């Protein structure tokens, strides 16, 4: 089920209504200037663990979008420099 998207301004203006809808099971992605910054989800969904097979499939899909080989050790060392 796809989450509905709302702007940060709309979320601020209609927070009570969004909370009522969330109590009914709906989820929302809150965007600021087009970028997703938060999710509003019912409490029952917060603690749910994702399906490991689905998580692995998501990682594999992301790796396909990376044009070159990336070594984790290189990323760790690069992060230490900053």
Residue 16's pLDDT is what? 95
Q: Which CATH superfamily is domain 4-80 in?
A: YefM-like domain (3.40.1620.10)
Q: Which regions in the chain score pLDDT beneath 50? A: none
* pTM of the entire predicted model: 0.52
- DSSP per-residue letters across the chain: -PPEEEEHHHHHHTHHHHHHHHHTT--EEEEETTEEEEEE--HHHHTPPPPHHHHHHHHHHHHHT-SS---HHHHHHHHHT-
Residue 33's pLDDT is what? 93
Spans of all domains in the chain: 4-80
């Amino acid at each position: 089920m796809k989450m509905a998207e709302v702007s940060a301004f709309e979320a601020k203006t209609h927070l009570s209504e969004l909370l009522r809808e969330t109590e009914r099971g709906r989820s929302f992605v809150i965007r600021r200037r087009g970028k997703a910054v938060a999710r509003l989800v019912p409490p029952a969904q917060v603690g749910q663990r994702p399906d490991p097979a689905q998580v692995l499939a998501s990682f594999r899909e992301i790796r396909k979008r990376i044009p070159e080989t990336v070594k984790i050790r290189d990323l760790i060392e690069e992060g230490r420099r900053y």
